[in-house]
Each structure stands twice: as structure tokens, then as C-alpha cells.
Amino acid sequence: MDDSVVQAVEAMYASSSTGQTRSAADAFLRSFQTSPNAFAVSHAFLANAPTTARVVQLFAAQTISHLTLTPAQVSQLSSLFSLHHHERDIVRLLGTALVRNMEAGQGLDWLIQGPWDADVRISLLTLAAVESVAYTEAQNVIVYLGSSHAATKDTLLCMAEWVKLLDRDARHPDLVIKNPLTTYAIQVLHRGLDDTSDLFDAAVDLVVEVIRTYNSTLVDLPVIQWLIPQLMQLKPLFTAAAAQEITECCLGLARVFTEMAEVYLDILLGDSPMNQVLVVDTLLECMAFPDPELAAITIPFWFAFTEALRFVPDVHQKQTLLRNFAPSLTNLSRICMHTMCFRDGFRELPSDKQQDFKNFRMELGDILQDCCVLLGTDLVLAHCVQGLHAILTDPDSSPDAQWESIEAHLYSFRSIARQVELQLQDSSKAGHPPMDETPLHTIFAFLPRFPAHPAIQYTSCLVISRYAEWLAGSGAAYLASLLTFVDATVTMSATRHDYHDWQVPTAVAAALRGLCLDCWAHVGRDLMQYYGQLQASDALDVEDQVILLEGICKGVSVGDPHLIVPALEALVAPIAQRMNGILTAASSTAAPPSAGGILKDLLRLMCIFDHTSSSSNGQQQHPLVALSEQLFPLFQQTLHVFGSNFDVVERCCRCFKRMLRLPAMVVMVPTLSQMLVQSYAAVPQSSYLYCANQIVKNFASNASSNDLIPVLDHLFSQLSHTTFTVLSQSLVDHPDIVEEYFYLVERYVRSLPGLTVPLLPSILQGSLLGLHLQHNDATKGVLSCLELMLKQLTKTPTDAAAPTSAYSVHYIWNMVIYWFQ
């Protein structure tokens, strides 16, 4: 073993080793470190230092540092300390082993007084804090660190870890007020303009932990009164660092200011004058820093601050606080609008960084909503309008050069839409003053005139979608110009790749869907016609087309009931025409047909069945049932031609699933069941089993009254027969069929258990085979089914006449044997 470990360690670090060799050596060494003789071998390596390579000694010390040792093994480490006292890295690792294997109640005097240099001692003390070893010693360690005169980065970080461990009874004010290290940390912060090294970051960490630990205005007031004035003296330093763009210094100070303001929020909202407005304005200055990373640090404080203001219980106190902080909140709303501007090079950022900034903008939007609640929506809305007006009328700069600011103000306008809606609703109630809607009119009048930058177009479309309800009423005059704007945006998207990078087509579809949902009475006919043009020209991808189609289906559903059938015919006619054309062409050629067009139209049909709702008057056939009967031959032909295409079959079955949600579709169940049986027998696909599952789910409860029992019995027996044939030929190649079949069986056992009895022996035998399949989803389906079946079997009578008595015990016993094997 010793030689094998040496060879593996040398192979890990030899420059001539291949990647495969290193991987094998790494696997062997990891296995060794968990073996019973890991300590004995490692101890031997360290005890025979003169004859052991240094890299092997380091590996041995590292191995020991991670082991759980017996008292006897711990006692054997003392000789190694004497032997390696000059080897700092080895001493640190052996000390780590001692720390991790301390006995309960053991103090830290041995560590503080141990035979190691100051750096190793600080490292081990830090480890003891991180591992929460002897946390009751926190006071003693903090006093020791303060008296050590070792003002280093590691010492500050060590003290920060021990300050964390102070509980309520142990955090005496003098531990920090009279501790030289705390004073030194604040002095380091004052030197931030000249030194932003690791020492500065460590000082920030220590001060932040002091704030978090001494957080009670009742218990820790002496520390708070000592600390806040000293930290506020750092404000001019932040101003100077921001002017000189020393980002590292600003980031550290922003962490300190934010932590101070958030932890001591009760003081900010209290009656005692402590220059609270200055503290909030300091956070505003941090928020206004050009780097979004710094502004993001302050976000938790603004959420806590605005929420606390909103829910102050005393009305008089709340009015006083709002009066005092109104200028700060006004500046906050303006800064949010400025900070959410996109920066140069945004599109070149990695996708995760782009998403981070988008999430940050959403948080700024939430803060703007809070500002609306506290200041009044009118004021925040006026800021949006004033900002846009200033940009458009600036004689020294064209709007194109300020696209970031335009987009940010539009995004702000969209973010506060909910508060605008609430105020509009309130103003419509008796006794409430009417809301001034002039800003809304101004923005929608401006909207088509903004520069055609893709970011502006994207956000403009989202604004249209979000304010569609207002456009249906007071803003109806703008609908014609907005439809023209949307059409121009679609045309531009077809020729400009950057529009797709900014997802403008998807935003356009969302805007049109919003207009369908809320403005159907005004623009429904126009949008139906426009959708037909988009469908014919493919100016939008089909995934974006169905977003608009969803809105149309919902608009049709809430419109005139007599127009539903003509509308559905208008929507389906071009789909059926295209699908018939593809199917006819496919049947006349020997080449494999392309499924692209069929998949697009099936997606459209899924949307129509999913989002169209209508009630039958009892005398006429339900519109969706009539549509299903009309399309059924088309589905049959599609499955005949594309039955081997998994995606086509899946989308057809998704269409069926959406049909089956409608109770009136019960008339289609016999025909659909027969088609599933035939198609599954021709080319077995798991989607057919899922569709059969949906039939049982939706219609089994009334199967008797609708004479569906024979239909569902035939469906189950035929699908089962085909499934057993397929799985007997190749189980491994069909895990999806295994999964869906046993979910189908589970559905039958749950809804129509009597129909499963004749096939129960075959089902149980198949389940035993299915459990051999190394596939998580398939195994999950089998086990879910078996669990329910076993519960059902326990309810079965045990007399000889019971239909399952002859074989249930036999097969249960087989399953038990399988699990034990």
C-alpha cells in the first residue's frame, strides 16, 4: 500500500503524466483517504521524513487533517509536530486535525500557546471559528486577538469569524469599543483612497460583522452610538472615491453603509434625532454610482426601508416620516430610472451576466412601485414623462444618442403599471378625486416617435401590452397609430438581426395578445386579419405567432357567441389547407417527407384548442366538437404519413389532450380510441399511451352512463397487447413506453379497476421486467403503478371465488424475491 500511494502521488504531480494517468491516480488516492489504514500509512510517511518525498509528506498531512481521529491517534501527532516544526504547511495541516478532533469542553489555551508561529496560530483560530469549535471561547479569543498587536489581513478576518459567534450574553461592548483591532479596521477604511488591497476588504468584513452582531438598539446601544458616527465620517471618502472612480473602495464602503442602515433601520425610523436623512442620502449616493454591481448592494436596504415606511402603524408618525424622507424618496425614484439604463456592451456580456442585470432592473422596478405607494403614483409618473420630454427636446443631443435613457424611462413606466391601474380604479369610485391621465396620453403620443432601437421597440411593445386595459378606454384614440407602429416593428424585425437578439418579435406578439385580451371590441377584426397576413408571410416565427393566436382565441371566446364558429373556421381553414397540401405532396413522393410545416400547424391547432372556450346552448353542437370532427380525418392522415415521427405524433396527441378537456367531447371518445389502437399497433409511440391516459382521466367517471365501458375495455386490452409484444422484443429500447404504459395501468386501476383483472398476471410479470430497466423515469412509472396495485390487492376478498386469489400471492412473492436479490 505504501509504495502504491507514493507512486500515485508522484504520478499526480509529474509533468510527464497524462490526463488519464492523473485521473486514475486521483481516484486511487481518494479511495485511500477513506480506507481504514489511511492514518497509519500517513503517520508513517511523516514519521520517516528523511526518506519520504516532500510532496508525499504534504499529501499525508492533508489526509490526516480530514480524518476523524481516536484519542490514541490524536496523541500520536505530538511527535510529528516536533519533527516538522520548521515545516509551516505541514504544521498547519496537523493543527487542523487537532482542531477538528477537539473533545467537547476542551478550551483553546493549547491552541493559543501552541508551538507554532503567529500565522499558523491565526489560521488555526480562524478554522476553530469556522468549524464552531469551542464557540464559548469567543470572548477570550477576541481579547487575545486585540492584544496580539498582529494587525494583518488574516487577523482581521479571524476576529470577524469570532465576532460572528458572540451570542447575546457574550457580546460585551468593550470587546469591540476598546479592542485595538476594531479601531484599526476603521482606520484602514479611512485609507481606502490609497489602499484597496486585501487588508481593506478584511477591514470591511470585520466592521460588517460587528454591525450584524451588535444589532439590538436595546442591548447594544453603547456600541451603536460609538460606531455610527465613525462610519458616517467615511461619507466624504466615498464621495471622493466615486469622483475618482475607485470602484474597489466604493464597493467596500457601500457594503458598510448598507449593512449599517439595514441593521439599524429602527433608529432611522425612530424619534431620536441622529441625522437619519443623512444616512439615507448616503445610501442614495451609493445607489447613484455608475457601476450596477455597487447599486445592487443597496437593494436589500431599499426594500426594507420602503416596506417599513409603508407599514408604520401610527398614522401621525408615518406622516412625519414621509414628510422628512420625501426628498430622499423622490431622488430614489429618479436614481432608479437612471440606474436601470443599459450600459455599452450589454449584448456582448455572457448570458448569465445579462440575466443578472435584467433581474436587477426588475428589482429597481419593484422599488419604483414602493415609491408610488409612498409618494403617490402621480409624482413618479410625472418623472417618467419629464425625463422623456427632456430627452426629446434636448437641443444638444439627438434622441438616437440617448436610447438607453429613453428605454429606461419606458421600462419604469411599465414597472409602475400596477400602481397606475390601482389609482385609476380608485379614481372611478365615488368620493375619490379623478386621476390626471395627461402623463399617460403624453407617453402614448410619444411612443411611435421614439428611435427605432431594438431595446426601445422591445420595451414599447411591453408597455402596450401592460396598458392595454387603459387603451381600451381612455386611450382608444391611440390604437390605430399603435397598430401601425407594431406593423412597422414587425417589418423591421424581418430585416434586422439585432431585433431578434433583443427578442423584439416576441414582445410584438405579447403586445398584440394584450390588445386582443383587452381591446377586442375595438381591434378584434383588424387583428384577425393581421394574424392571417403574419401566418401567410411567416414574418414572425410560429412560436411568436401562437402568442398572438392565444389572444385571438381568448378574444373570440369573450366576444359575440354567434361569431365563434365563423372565427374558428377562418382560423382553421388556412391550417387545414396547408396540412392537406403537405400530406398530398408526401404521399406522391418516395422521399421521406419533411415534418417542419406540419409541426408548425399542429402547434397552431394546439393553441386554438387550448385557449378557445365556449358554452353550448344544448340545442347546437359545441363549436369545438364540430371543429374536432371536421379535423379528425386530417389527424388520421397525418398520423398515417408521419406516424414514425415522434414530434408529430406527440403534437397530435397534445391536440387530442386539449380536446378531451371538454366534457362535450365524449362523442369523440369511441372514434379517437379506435384511432389510437390502430396507430399504436402500426408504430408504437409512448404519446398514444399518454393520450389514452387522458381519455380515462376525463371520461371514466361517467363511463357507464355514456356506454363507454366496452370502448375503454377494448382500448386497454389492445394497447396492452401491443405493449407486451413490443417489450418482449426489446425492453431496453423503449423506456418511454414502459413509463407511460404503467402510468396508464395506474389510471385504470384507480378509475376502472375491474378492467385490469384479466390482464393482471401479464401486467405484474411486465412490471418485474420493467424494474430491471436502468432508467429513472421508467422505474418511477412502474413503482407508482405497483404501489397502487398492491393497495388494490389488499382490498380484494381472499376466498376462492375472488378473481385475483389464484395468482396475487404468487406474483407478490416473486416481487419480494426480486427486491431481495
Q: Among all chains, which residue has been given the C-alpha cell 487533517?
A: 65
- DSSP characters for 207-236? HHHHHHHS--TTTSHHHHHHHHHHHHTTHH
What pLDDT, on the 0 to 100 scale, is given for residue 398?
A: 82
In tens, the pLDDT along 397-444 reads 788 889 999 999 999 999 999 999 999 988 877 667 888 899 999 999
Confidence of residue 49 (pLDDT cuts 50, 70, 90): confident
pLDDT surpassing 90 at residue 173? yes
Cell of 474: 381612455
What pLDDT, on the 0 to 100 scale, is given for residue 617?
A: 59
pLDDT surpassing 70 at residue 801? no
Confidence of residue 795 (pLDDT cuts 50, 70, 90): low
Confidence of residue 799 (pLDDT cuts 50, 70, 90): very low
Query: Cβ distance 185 to 230 under 8 Å?
Result: no
pLDDT surpassing 80 at residue 796? no
Q: CA nearest 571: which of 610, 517, 618?
A: 610
Q: Among all chains, which residue has been given the C-alpha cell 454591481?
A: 293
pLDDT surpassing 80 at residue 581? yes
In tens, the pLDDT along 209-220 reads 999 999 998 899
> How many Å separate Cα 352 from the centre of its chain?
12
Of the listed ranges 65-69, 149-153, 200-204, 449-453, the one predicted with least confidence: 149-153
The 10 Å CB-count burial string (b at 16+, else e) for 514-541 is bbbbbbbebbbeebbebbeebbeeebbe
**What percentage of the chain carries pLDDT values higher than 90?**
62
| Calpha distance 625→460 (Å, rounded) | 39
What pLDDT, on the 0 to 100 scale, is given for residue 1?
A: 57
What pLDDT, on the 0 to 100 scale, is given for residue 538?
A: 86
Of the listed ranges 263-277, 486-500, 535-549, 648-662, the one predicted with least confidence: 263-277
Name the CA radius of gyration of the chain, rounded: 36
Cell of 309: 415606511
Q: Among all chains, which residue has been given the C-alpha cell 381553414?
A: 573
pLDDT surpassing 70 at residue 804? no
**Which backbone phi and psi does 706 adopt, to 5 degrees?**
-100, 10
What pLDDT, on the 0 to 100 scale, is given for residue 153?
A: 92
Confidence of residue 347 (pLDDT cuts 50, 70, 90): confident
What pLDDT, on the 0 to 100 scale, is given for residue 135?
A: 81
Mean pLDDT (whole number) for 50-62: 88
Question: H or E segment at 81?
Answer: helix 77-83
Mean pLDDT (whole number) for 735-757: 92
pLDDT surpassing 50 at residue 495? yes
The SS3 of residue 798 is coil
pLDDT surpassing 70 at residue 667? yes
Report the predicted TM-score, pTM, of the whole model to 2 decimal places: 0.83
pLDDT surpassing 50 at residue 40? yes
Cβ neighbour number for residue 20 with a 10 Å cutoff = 8
Q: Please report which residue ranges of 311-402 form alpha helices under DSSP H.
A: 315-339, 351-375, 377-392
410/82: higher pLDDT: 410
Cell of 581: 397540401
What pLDDT, on the 0 to 100 scale, is given for residue 417?
A: 95
Mean pLDDT of the chain: 89
What pLDDT, on the 0 to 100 scale, is given for residue 107?
A: 81
Confidence of residue 802 (pLDDT cuts 50, 70, 90): very low
| Calpha distance 103→426 (Å, rounded) | 67
Q: Judging by beta carbons within 10 Å of its beta carbon (0-12, 13-18, 19+), is residue 670 exposed, middle or buried?
A: middle
The 10 Å CB-count burial string (b at 16+, else e) for 726-736 is bbeeebeebbb
Query: Cβ distance 525 to 501 under 8 Å?
Result: no
Residues sharing a CB contact under 8 Å with residue 433, sequence separation 6 or more, in sequence order? 427
| Calpha distance 18→8 (Å, rounded) | 13
Cβ neighbour number for residue 708 with a 10 Å cutoff = 21
Most confident of 442-451, 454-463, 808-817: 454-463
Query: Cβ distance 425 to 363 under 8 Å?
Result: no
Query: Cβ distance 689 to 740 under 8 Å?
Result: yes
pLDDT surpassing 60 at residue 816? no
Distances (CA, A) of 685 to 660, 721, 722, 734: 19, 14, 11, 9
The 10 Å CB-count burial string (b at 16+, else e) for 187-215 is ebbeebeeebeebbbbbbbbbbbbbebbb
Of the listed ranges 103-107, 168-172, 693-697, the one predicted with least confidence: 103-107
Query: Cβ distance 5 to 29 under 8 Å?
Result: yes
pLDDT surpassing 60 at residue 627? yes
pLDDT surpassing 90 at residue 640? yes
pLDDT surpassing 50 at residue 820? no
434/176: higher pLDDT: 176
What pLDDT, on the 0 to 100 scale, is given for residue 814?
A: 55
| Calpha distance 148→181 (Å, rounded) | 9
Terminal-to-terminal C-alpha distance of the chain: 34
Most confident of 47-56, 110-119, 776-785: 776-785
What pLDDT, on the 0 to 100 scale, is given for residue 806?
A: 36
pLDDT surpassing 60 at residue 815? no
pLDDT surpassing 50 at residue 628? yes
pLDDT surpassing 50 at residue 690? yes
In tens, the pLDDT along 753-774 reads 889 888 888 888 888 888 888 8
- DSSP characters for 467-488? THHHHTTTTGGGHHHHHHHHHH
Residues sharing a CB contact under 8 Å with residue 503, sequence separation 6 or more, in sequence order? 458
Confidence of residue 172 (pLDDT cuts 50, 70, 90): very high
Mean pLDDT (whole number) for 266-284: 90
Query: Cβ distance 273 to 315 under 8 Å?
Result: no
